[in-house]
Amino acid sequence: MNRVFYGLLYAFSLLPLRILYGISWLIYVLLHYLIGYRRKVISTNLKNSFPEKSESEIKSIQKKFYKNFADYLVETLKSFSISQEELDRRHTYSNLEIFRDCEVAQKDVILMAGHVFNWEWFVGLAPNLLTEKTVAVYHKVKNNFWNDRINEIRGKFGTIPLDMKKIPRYMMNTPNNGEHAYLFVADQSPKKSAIHYDLEFLNQNTPVFVGFDKIAIKKEMAVIFCKMVKVKQGHYHTTFERILPDGENYEPMEIVHKFFKNLEETIHENPDNWLWSHKRWKYKKGTDY
């Protein structure tokens, strides 16, 4: 059954994006007007994050979010069969020279990204970087068939997908020589049992993942923020920005705080372009952890 469904999805992915965006509009109407997909979660997240905004402003952001989310769904489907050439036309990059600087300094790179649309199109990142190997860190899908298919998509342009549980050992055992870049989509919500740190993010106390910062400090790696912007439908641009320590070296948790500060600024610039449907703040300090 999984193979049949995958075959159908792959067949749909072969359709031109102009047709898939027509399907995207239907998905938008379905999710926003008919189903009301996670409407309460989205509305609550927006109101808590932007208490200064009016009801009409919140509704406007929510409506645009549904449009972007529908585009994200068909674009992710298109990832099954999209070519590197088409990805390079639709997802462009700037400030790539900082990777050459890191290589000269013999510093491996940690790339920090958020769930800004469309992060899935980082699948075409590896050929654009100046590093020898690009590793994408992911959470394993429980279904082995779909986990393998998703990793095939992530890896078809040269990126190495690696389970988050395996990444610490891999990074610690790999020479820090400027030949590796590790991509983390780092704004996910930890499980209750995995919460070890929280901070203020989007006007709310927020549990966050940590650990990548300890490895970066221990191995003296470079840290780069991936600022993604949706230019127009089907076109994205990512600017790479170096996250530097205030002093000579990073202090504990400094990287974590600076990443979320950069991400918050990016969200404020384009608030409809972040994944608001995620239950990001379901655990409360003092109650759940």
Q: Are the beta carbons of 96 and 131 closer than 8 angstroms? A: no
- How far is the first Cα of the chain from the last one, in angstroms, to the nearest whole number? 40
Average pLDDT, the chain: 94
Q: Are residues 41 and 170 in the same domain?
A: no
Q: Are residues 139 and 231 in the same domain?
A: yes
Residue range(s) defining the domain that contains residue 36: 2-78
pTM of the entire structure? 0.94
Average pLDDT score over residue span 223-250: 96
Place 240 in a pLDDT band, splitting at 50, 70 and 90.
very high
Q: Are residues 94 and 236 in the same domain?
A: yes
44-61 residue pLDDT tens: 999 999 999 999 999 999
Q: Which of 53, 78, 103 is the last residue of a domain?
A: 78
pLDDT of 282 reads 94
Domains of the chain: total = 2
36-46 residue pLDDT tens: 999 999 999 99
Q: Are residues 51 and 105 in the same domain?
A: no
Distance CA 214, CA 202 (A): 24
The answer, yes or no, to whether residue 141 has pLDDT greater than 80, is no
